[in-house]
Chain A
Amino acid sequence: MKSDHHVILRVITKTLIPVIVLYGLYVQFHGDFGPGGGFQAGVILAVGVILYALVFGVPSAMRAVPPAFTRSVAAIGVLLYAGVGFWALLQGGQYLEYQALFQEEPGGHHGQHVGIILIELGVLFGVSGAMLTIFYAFAGRVAEIRDEDW
């Protein structure tokens, strides 16, 4: 693609993407205390990459965030989520019992905090990875739009 095309689009996108990612992370970590959480944050993060793919083309997006990577991220997300459950089992609790993670007394909240953050992180990985994998699977099938067809 020639660099003098869609200059405004490219410049705006480049400034927007960090903001989108930052907002995604805000939603992610705000999920502990208010509305938000891994699912929404995962979608927002994936949207950042999808915007990049729309403006700069799917091949360059695939170079930046390869499909093999997105697939692994989705798998790692599920592994993380289920892994917290097994961690609780190993500590002698029920499956996914956060309270058991550090074998705390009933008043302690350390396990609850760590548990929910890890779970939400798992959801973030799972959702953003799956969203991008689905996007690549669909977008990868169509030929690139030529410059004149815009």
Chain B
Amino acid sequence: MIEAILDMAPRWALLHAPALLIMVPLFLAPLLAILPSGRLSWLISIFATVFALFCAMILVGQVQASPVGVVGYDVGNWPVPIGITLRVDALNSMILLLVAAIGVLATIFSWPTVKAEIPERKHPLFYSAFLVCFAGLSGVAITGDAFNLFVFLEISSISTYVLVALGAGRDRRALPAAFNYLIMGTLGASFYIIGVGFLYSATGTLNIAQIAEMLPELAGNRSVEAGFAFIIVGLGLKAAVWPLHQWLPNAYAYSPSFVTMFLSATATKVALYALIRYLFTVFRPEFAFEQATFTYLLMPLGLAAMITCSFQAVFQTDVRRTLAYSSVAQVGYMILGVSVGTVAGVSAGLFHLLNHAMIKGALFMAVAGVVLTFQGTTIRDFAGLGRTAPWTMTGFAIAGLSLIGVPLTAGFQSKLQLGYALFDQGMWWAVVFVVFSSFLAVIYMGRILEAIFFRPPINPRKSRKEAPILLLVPLWILALANIYFGITTELPLGLARDAAAAAFGLEAF
């Protein structure tokens, strides 16, 4: 399919795909802000995300076809040390594909929920903020410049605060959640930029590839080590690595349903990408301080996230909060995979990243459908919905089983890969934690599924009411993807393996 797209794509798209991928959404965003019509801005957003997906597919194809595995683009035709370069390899082309694909599905399903949850005069501005966020996330993934990465990180974060705060129409608690997120997110970004400052003072360049080249000579340099610490904390905050995840549950629980769905599947993933980029491409696992970070910091934090946040998820009464805590726990799995420090570990982490985006995307989409038709998100509100909205809830159940890691679902495959990677390094005890955390997932998803399928409806007036078709189609695309990639893992696992190899600077295998 990707070859077909490379064949049919016009020459200008092939030449300028990296720039067009971020600039088309970024150009259309201010245009939406001055449009009067919400429906038109929705259609334009679909166009922008579909176009970005098209560019992302071209990039994936170009990276696979390229002999060095890298596609570069100098903005303004300024060469590397002076100008900003966009640099795509197997690692970020995978992330770009993920962000764009989720963006398309999210935009398509958004219209009914946005119509219900956002005041009408704010529709164009809402979609404008969404496109800015989308462009920012793609920009973080595509740029090859450490400072430019900060700029895109802020572009995406600031628009995210706005999007989260717009949930105030449904629940006023969205405002403190957005404010909390703003403070934490700004702290994270400041830490990141301080770290980049340290690296700049040591190396004299902001280009990520150049920094990576110069670092081995600077072994033992204190400002490099300080920069490393600041960057890990800053990006860890954005990626919601335990215990820096406090902003996440409220932000996910109270923002508009569409925003929750889009963010849960992309925002933390992109920050995690940046973290992996720094851990493996810029700094190397061979550095003594990084090995220590893996063993004494990231691995314990990953395990702690898996256990404590799964426990917290068990005790939530609100479905969206349960899923939000589960998200932090899933970030724990990814961090655990990364902290193994081998190619297999990173590819397991990235594979879980892809699968988790599909799982949480589907789950939050189904929840959005319930918010739309029944205006409730507590587990009590979900009681008996298996009979009143079977299609929505079956999609929810499939994704839920995938989250638990039932065989024949995508979630099972990524936990399997994680287990292999851990066993390879003789860390069988960590596998015990993975299994235990999955057991907790059985409990918290089981509570919701039990309410959906086995309890009678609380409110007898809740007659048969399915979510609108615009929502069901993307939901079922994601749900079926969960099953399809649970049976044949070739595509996502191949992407994840190439990406992990690219992160280490190895030839794809």
Give A residues with C-beta under 8 Å from B: 71-72, 74-79, 82-83, 85-86, 88-89, 93-100
> Which one of A71, A75, A86, A97 lies within 8 Å of B31 (CB-CB)?
A75
- CB pair A83–B74 under 8 Å, yes or no, is no
**B34 contacts which chain A residues (CB < 8 A)?**
71-72, 75-76
Give min CB distance, B128 to chain A, whole Å: 8
**B73 contacts which chain A residues (CB < 8 A)?**
94-95
Majority-rule SS of B interface residues? helix
- CB pair A86–B23 under 8 Å, yes or no, is yes
> Which one of B26, B27, B30, B77 lies within 8 Å of A94 (CB-CB)?
B77
23 contacts between A and B (CB under 8 A): A72-B33, A72-B34, A75-B31, A76-B30, A78-B26, A78-B27, A78-B29, A78-B30, A79-B31, A82-B23, A82-B26, A85-B23, A89-B16, A94-B16, A94-B19, A94-B75, A94-B77, A95-B23, A95-B76, A96-B76, A97-B76, A98-B76, A100-B77
**A97 contacts which chain B residues (CB < 8 A)?**
76-77
Question: What separation, in Å, do the CA atoms of A86 and B77 have in the docked complex?
Answer: 14
> Which one of A71, A72, A74, A99 lies within 8 Å of B77 (CB-CB)?
A99
**A82 contacts which chain B residues (CB < 8 A)?**
23, 26-27, 30
Give min CB distance, A17 to chain B, whole Å: 27
Question: Which chain A residue lies CB-closest to B12?
Answer: A89
Majority-rule SS of A interface residues? helix
**B29 contacts which chain A residues (CB < 8 A)?**
78
- CB pair A95–B33 under 8 Å, yes or no, is no
Question: What separation, in Å, do the CA atoms of A89 and B73 have in the docked complex?
Answer: 13
**B16 contacts which chain A residues (CB < 8 A)?**
89, 94-95
Question: What separation, in Å, do the CA atoms of A77 and B30 have in the docked complex?
Answer: 9
- CB pair A95–B30 under 8 Å, yes or no, is no
Q: Closest 3 interchain pairs by CB?
A: A75-B30, A95-B19, A78-B30
**4 additional contacts (CB under 8 A) given A76-B30, A95-B75:** A82-B26, A83-B27, A85-B23, A100-B77
Question: Which chain A residue lies CB-closest to B19?
Answer: A95
- CB pair A93–B77 under 8 Å, yes or no, is yes
Question: What separation, in Å, do the CA atoms of A79 and B23 have in the docked complex?
Answer: 11
**A88 contacts which chain B residues (CB < 8 A)?**
76
**A95 contacts which chain B residues (CB < 8 A)?**
16, 19, 23, 73, 75-76
